[in-house]
Amino acid sequence: MESREFVHLVRDVLDAEPDVRERAADEVTDRLSAYSPAHASALATLLSAAAVCEKEAVVLEADLHAILELMSTGYVMRDHVSPLCEIRLEELPPTLREYVTDLLED
């Protein structure tokens, strides 16, 4: 992945518009084979931090799914997703709570 593409994806993950953020998280999963270990770990860390702040359930779910897919590359370690520890599980719907718990247990 070229630096220009990576920066564009990062900007979209952090966009003010929920639909752009959701689409960006979906794009992360579509391009798994394009990431170097550095790209994958950086995206996982960024998505984890973004998930902590995310108010839209559909975007949070997309973020968590993207993180799970990034972890499947073997490039992402638990430390990269440690921001997820900041999420208050009791405030999440049960399905999203399970997602976060599974990601932190891997």
The distance between the two most distant Cα atoms of the chain, rounded to a whole number of Å, is 39
CA distance 33 to 102: 23
Tell me the C-alpha distance between 95 and 23, whole Å. 20
The tens place of each residue's pLDDT in the chain, 106 residues long, gives 899 999 999 999 999 999 999 999 999 999 998 999 999 999 999 999 999 999 999 999 999 999 999 999 999 999 999 999 999 999 898 889 988 988 888 6
32, HSE (Cβ side, Cα atoms, 13 Å)? 15
